[in-house]
Amino acid sequence: MLRKEKDAIIEETVRLLSDTEALYVSDYRGLTVAQLTKLRAALRERGAELHVLKNTLTAIAAERAGRENIKELLSGPTAVAFCGEDLLGPAKTLSDYARTNQALVVRGGVLQGSLLDADGVRRLASLPPREVLVGQVVGTMAAPLTGLVTVLQGTISSFVRALNQVAEQRAAAGEA
């Protein structure tokens, strides 16, 4: 590979490392081209790009991009999934694919600057979707308000019944 080609690859990798909040590193040894293509398509649906990278060039790019922590994950054949806006979807896609295809081994990743090991990526993949998490938070926040409304409704209903009883007693006393 010519020096110009290496420099171009390093610059592209620096751009990818700088532009992403999350990336996941895998060992793709043993995957066929068709399997790798299928994985790329699945990741693309989640807004991620899968790149097969040379470790030495990636290490240089990591230093230039200020992402030295990724160097711990670089050994053997390396495929890196660079995430778009969805930070967890690609982790789920990789974990699901690794579960069904033993040749793919997820080594770890980087999420918002923090290094994750393989178990960390699996835990991320097991989280429910964002919409479900937001629903759970809203439900948790709404529960005390629902209880307050119920209590206030009960108090108001009791007050109205008491007023009705007083009115009925006065009406009965007025008739007698």
Q: In the prediction, which pLDDT does 54 show?
A: 93
Reported as type and span, the H/E element at residue 136 is helix 130-175
Q: In the prediction, which pLDDT does 125 show?
A: 84
Beta bridge partners of 105: 27
Both structure tokens of 66: 């200020």
Taking the alpha carbons at both ends of the chain, their separation in whole angstroms is: 111
Q: In the prediction, which pLDDT does 11 show?
A: 92
3-state secondary structure of 24: strand
Q: In the prediction, which pLDDT does 148 show?
A: 65
pLDDT exceeds 90 at position 139: no
- Rounded CA separation 72/114 (Å): 12
Q: What is the pLDDT of residues 26-47, one digit of tens each?
A: 999 988 999 999 999 999 998 8
Q: What is the pLDDT of residues 87-98, one digit of tens each?
A: 888 999 999 999
**CA 33, 37, 40 angle in degrees (round to 5)?**
140
pTM here is: 0.71
Average pLDDT, the chain: 86
Cα dist from 35 to 45, 111, 138, whole Å: 16, 26, 40
The contacts of residue 123 (CB under 8 Å, 6+ apart) are none
Dihedral pair phi/psi, residue 29, rounded to 5°: -55, 125
